[in-house]
Amino acid sequence: MPAQKLDAIDRKILAELQGDGRMTNVELARRVGISAPPCLRRVRTLEEAGFIRGYHGKVDVRQLGFEVQVFAMVGLQSQAEADLSAFEEQCRDWPLVRECHMLNGEVDFILKCVAPDLSTFQAFLTSDLLRARNVASVKTSLVIRAAKEAPGVPFDVLEARLARIA
């Protein structure tokens, strides 16, 4: 279902759950202005349709001892689809890689990595990432601090866009 197939209640449900996925169905129903049973049906439908892909707790990585966060820009020797897919699969197997995005431009992939310390990341970089099949280059940038980490999408922008289209 594209966004335009969702009604205003569905979009409100998604916006509320994006902000707080732990609220009860009764609280969610109250916030979106419907009763609990249809709210629960809508949530299940949104889950089945793939709009809601999961519920996660946002953990503080530094509080858990992961002091190092790094973005690694990876260039591959070959951009054939089989090689791109093979690299993506390899990234799924590396625990330090928390996000992997294919890009358009100079860099083929950007990886968000976490490690408890710099020596752990360096060992991953030299033993795994730089030795991975098809990797031609890696440039890394150490995160000093995060100024913003917003999940999901800006629903206010979506609502404004839909209002212009209607």
Q: How far is CA 115 from the centre of its chain?
A: 18
Q: In this prediction, what percent of the chain has a pLDDT beyond 70?
A: 98
Residue 153 φ then ψ, to 5°: -125, 155
Q: pLDDT of 18-31, one tens digit each? A: 999 999 999 999 99
| C-alpha distances in Å from residue 20, one per residue of 16, 32, 92, 156 | 6, 13, 27, 16
Whole-model pTM: value is 0.86
Question: pLDDT above 90 covers what percent of the chain?
Answer: 88
Reduced 3-state DSSP string for 28-48: HHHHHCCCHHHHHHHHHHHHH
CB 90 within 8 Å of CB 159: no
pLDDT tens digits, residue range 105-132? 999 999 999 999 999 999 999 999 999 9
